[in-house]
Structure 1
Amino acid sequence: MKVVILGGGESGVGAAFLAKKKGFDVFLSDMGEIRDNYKNELKDLGVDFEEGQHTEERILSADWVIKSPGIPKKADIVFKIKNQGIRLSSEIEFASEFTDAKIVAITGSNGKTTTTSLIYHILKEDGFNVGLGGNIGKSFAKQVAEESFDYYVLEVSSFQLDDIQTFRPYISLLLNLSKDHLDQYNYDYEEYALAKFRITENQDQQNFFIYNKDDEMSQKILEKLDLKVNKVPFSMSEKLDYGAYATDSNIFVNVEEQHFEMKIEELSLMGKHNVANSLAASIAGKLLNISNESIRNSLMTFQAVEHRLENVAEVHGVRYINDSKATNVNATYFALESMKQPTIWIVGGKDKGNDYTEIEELVKKKVKAIVCLGVDNQKIIDFFKNDKEQIYDTSSMEDAVKICSQLAEEGDTVLLSPCCASFDLFNGYEDRGNKFKAEVLKLIK
């Protein structure tokens, strides 16, 4: 079988590793530049590859094309592959066909990484033989090739779900929906939501689908779809006889005749949105028959994910918080909602069709100054100029942090929560967050 892999990053190289192990004829093509470490891996594997171009003749002769999630679904080469009737899959689809492990798959607009990491922590702490992958950590395909895990906990994006055919998790989670990546879904919120719901389309009565009962779009889509899966809701606002819910002081889980409760003050994660994430993770734990004591201990000991409301330092009485992973408006909503001190807010980057109306009242209430960071900040400036007198336009992290440090007074918080993708000035949200932390630490010296 001829397998062609599009994209030479972690996902693509992992897929090449698995394809080679299965004895397929493998070719990898990347329109950009492949990093040296990945090139060396491909050479060691004996995989033929190209960079800086897509040779259509070779790609369109494939029996199976594996597409990395970073390649837009509207790319010309993707259209031609589909037009030829060649099977097109994501790495998670490809890898799932070569493992019998039970998969817990998590998607949603916000909280995916935190909840995926939390569920992995719960399973790992209870002694499960479990791998972590998808949009986080080591390639799922590479782990399937090299390891023999009984379980995988996978963070899954809508871009990965766009390219599935048979992917069927044992437990799927859809945490929430908000208007994200609409530029890839014809600026149609429902089209994007349906892409997320593909996580459950192949599930049956042997499987579980955990969903957010408070999420309006999720409820709307659920009414339209005829799902065969066991549906398990969670809610922050409604007491549920089956599923999980929270009061002001406690979380409660009731599933499959199993019960669990815990005081919210005992959770290691702070913020209302993280109570919801903890509810979803606790349901998954109980569905996998993990003891209450083990779940409680894991929820108390879990450490927050890097670049997600991460405390960087306190300098001259000012807190600096790195929320670089907030690449959409809804994620920043949660960040601003959890701010207790007057906040200087760093925002901006590659706009994905953002509507800032959702956070306008929070900005009026919580934010004392806005520092824009991006190649083109005009949309943000125009939106907030009537709400805030102090708006600054910057195009480097050094300048942004310097202005924040000049504006900030003792007791203030400087929050990097950009609402936008990072690819105008940075190599990813990690690069953006790391540069923020580096500039903040310079203030201490």
Structure 2
Amino acid sequence: MPHPDLSRFREPGVGVPHVEAALALVVLVLVGVAEGQRLGPNGQASAASVSAWLIAVAVCGALLLRRRYPVAVGWCTVLGTGAYYLVSTVDGPLVLVPVAVLYALASQGRLRACVAMAVVMVIGVSAGALAGTGDISGTAVFMLTGWLVAVVALGAMRHGRLAYAEEHARWSAAQERLRIARELHDVVGHTMSMINVQASAALHRLTKDPSQAETALAAIKEGSKEGLRELRATLGMLRQVDEEAPTAPTPGLAGINDLIASATRAGLDVRVDERGAGPSPPAAVDLAAYRIVQESLTNAARHSGARHVTIRIHRDDRQLTIGIEDDGRGPAPAGNAGGTGIAGMTERARALGGMLSARPGPAGGFVVRARLPFTVPDKPMDDWGADDQDPAGG
């Protein structure tokens, strides 16, 4: 089963620890250049300059621990940057460190911590503007606020894209498992049901009519051989990339005669009525139609107790309509506990934008009707209406 590539949605720098080190080094160099402008005539630094430099070193050093302590490092960089601007008169680039940390936190989905840190930064700069400190002004507050909002929003967008990608990956995996489960159920369930019916017939006739028992055993052998072939083809979907691809064609309505022959060996009298002259259905529709007919014949032979089955197939330019009617008693009142056949058929039809109905017939027996459009419509088809004229109906 293929796994989607989510690497382009991951947090920037994941798997590349030196990104933080590179950013810290660049910022530290720029801060050093800016602080160098405050040196005295004889190259001596003031106490404020030394304090500012030490704070910058601490903030850049904390950035290296962001992956291990993301929230704590965020607060450290925010408060440390604020302290730096209180003791330094140089408008240095240290603010890039908390901005980068805020983006990383937002991309991880830690929006509450991001908003709290951004608010503290804005309040601190606003207090500096009101106090008339250095180069801080109302314009600087406005610009910083805009930058922080943009950074947090971009990080949140990236987190949303990652969450959507992961959810889509899980959904795709679930759909793939469901598709494989349907295929295995249809292949194994049909074959085993026919073998069960033939084995029961062989046991019943073993002492009374050995020749008929031999015929039933031969049918079991042929059915198990065909079932194994289809099972291998289905399991081929799970093969490794370097394994040889299965050469068996995808089942379709062209192989309906094989289904009829298998059902006939199980004691069913099957009649097929094909109408319409539309184009050949797409492969997905053809496979779904084949599996619906297969499951319906399996249910008729194993659960319904039917003797006669009529399959009606109508094809036009837009869709394929199928009707399968038998003269049995239908499923047990409990609804075939544990079975997934009808649910699987319904899922197949709806996956193609069509629908399926399975219910007792008006004159007895059981009726399965399905509509499979050649192209998926904007909306799934509604349930059968009372005035719906079904070309495959009785």
The two structures share one fold, judged by TM-score above 0.5: no
Structure with more strand by fraction: 1
TM-score category of the 2 structures, normalised to the smaller one:
under 0.3
Q: TM-score, normalised by structure 1?
A: 0.18
Structure with greater Cα Rg: 2
